[in-house]
Structure 1
Amino acid sequence: MTAAPVFSPSTWDELVQVWQNVDLPNKAWRAEIIEGSIVMTPPPGYGHNVIADRVHRVLARTIPQSWGIFQTAAVEVPLRSNLFIPDLVVIPLEALPADDDPVPVPAGQALLAVEITSKSNANRDRNEKLWGYAHGGVPLYLLIDRFAKDEPSVTLYSGPAGGRYRRQRKVPFGEPIEIPEPFGFTLDTKDF
């Protein structure tokens, strides 16, 4: 998959307005704002989708009815000129905008962001998104890295402060990883 910069307006509001009106090649593509530039990403492959499905199923059994699990919700970090569409994001339903417009949710409203790497965007998930989610105050960032340098791994980042995460726990695929409260479950990665 290849992601290409499309346009780079001058103000955050202008940039979000352009993002809201991007004409995507089809509904499976994603347009995000990465460090001030609109970037379009084609749909992921089935390996990625299977992992997203497995995580989604565990989350659906775990979270309260007052929270939602989304695959197309945008979270924004205006301070860093970022607007991400995580592979999965858990947001309290009360934090969602009241209308149907594609209005981004402030990143700090998200309880968990999940990114699953693809070959073309792995570095973005490891760097820009890690930094962006930390700056935005997302309490938990789960990075499922199928293309990690040494071996495929899952890393949970937590405790955002000062634009970085204070804690991280990394396990190779096949090992379980604890997802702390307010979730409080163990994610089994053996089928990743």
Structure 2
Amino acid sequence: MGSAEERSGVLRQDEFEDLARHAAQTNKALRLEHLNGKLGVKPVPDGDHETIIEWLSRLCIQARTDWWLATGIGLRVEKYRGGNARPDGVLAPSGAFAGQGEWAESEGVFMAVEVTSFDSDTNRRDRVEKPAAYAAVSIPVYLLIDRQKGEVQVHSEPDGGRYQQVVTVPYGKSVHLPDPVGFELDTEDLKNWIG
């Protein structure tokens, strides 16, 4: 008989990472996440989704040439329960993830980025669970580009499992990305990719 955690069906960090690795080898389009004690599947991005990430990546490099908006990297999140998220983008110093493998520690990450998909889990995943997970590991800025609502949310000042500041602007307005990111984001171009 296993531990109480094993009997309750909660995946341990190492079990999840083995499962995710196996799933990716079996089906390249299958990208698993483990948040709030639950196993989830991250949707495969569409063309507009990828174009938004490309656009944001260019802006981040223009702001600082020693930064990189990494895509496809997994982050270990949720300090106490163990969790794994695959942000659409992770802004960090260039080379920050060298040698870390598929699931990197969140230390040194400036900003996590999510672009909403058109699936039934978007509200729970991108608007509730992800901000809580990123705040729990003290990622300074969480940027949510919400295609359903046509708006951008900038979460900052992490404190435990929540961000103390949330600024929301509609597409077309500029919004300040707080330090350590520290630049103005003009969202006018996002009107081209509402979906």
TM-score bucket of the superposed structures, by smaller chain? 0.7 to 0.9
Match of 2:179 in 1: 181
CA contact (8 A) 2:111 2:181 kept: no
Alignment of 1:114-125 (within 5 A): 114-120=113-119, 121-123=121-123, 124-125=125-126
Match of 2:54 in 1: 53
CA contact (8 A) 2:152 2:170 kept: yes
Alignment of 1:37-186 (within 5 A): 37-65=38-66, 67-77=67-77, 78-93=79-94, 95-98=96-99, 101-102=101-102, 104-120=103-119, 121-123=121-123, 124-148=125-149, 152-186=150-184
Find runs of 4+ consecutive structure 1 residues off by over 6 angstroms: none
Count of residue pairs brought into register by the alignment: 179
Deviations 1:71-111 (A, max 9, x none): 11111114243211111101234642526x32x12224311
Q: What one-letter code is carried by the residue in structure 2 that aligns with 1:18? A: L
- Which TM-score applies when normalising by structure 1? 0.82
CA contact (8 A) 2:110 2:181 kept: no
Q: In structure 1, how many angstroms separate the alpha carbons of the residues matched to 2:152 and 2:93?
A: 24
Structure 1 unmatched ranges of 5 or more: 1-7
Instruction: For residue 50 of structure 1, report the CA deviation from its aligned partner.
Output: 1.9
**Percent identity between the two aligned chains:** 33
Structure 2 unmatched ranges of 5 or more: 1-8, 191-195
Match of 1:23 in 2: 24
Q: In structure 1, how many angstroms separate the alpha carbons of the residues matched to 2:129 and 2:170?
A: 22
Judged with a 3 Å threshold, the aligned counterparts in structure 2 of structure 1 residues 177 and 25 are, in CA distance, closer, same or farther, namely farther
Judged with a 3 Å threshold, the aligned counterparts in structure 2 of structure 1 residues 90 and 160 are, in CA distance, closer, same or farther, namely same
Give the CA RMSD over aligned residues.
2.1
Deviations 1:27-80 (A, max 9, x none): 344222222333223322222222212111101111242x33211111111424
Q: What one-letter code is carried by the residue in structure 2 that aligns with 1:141? A: Y
Judged with a 3 Å threshold, the aligned counterparts in structure 2 of structure 1 residues 50 and 95 are, in CA distance, closer, same or farther, namely closer
Higher Cα Rg, which structure: 2
Q: In structure 2, how many angstroms separate the alpha carbons of the residues matched to 1:56 and 1:35?
A: 28
CA contact (8 A) 1:157 1:167 kept: yes
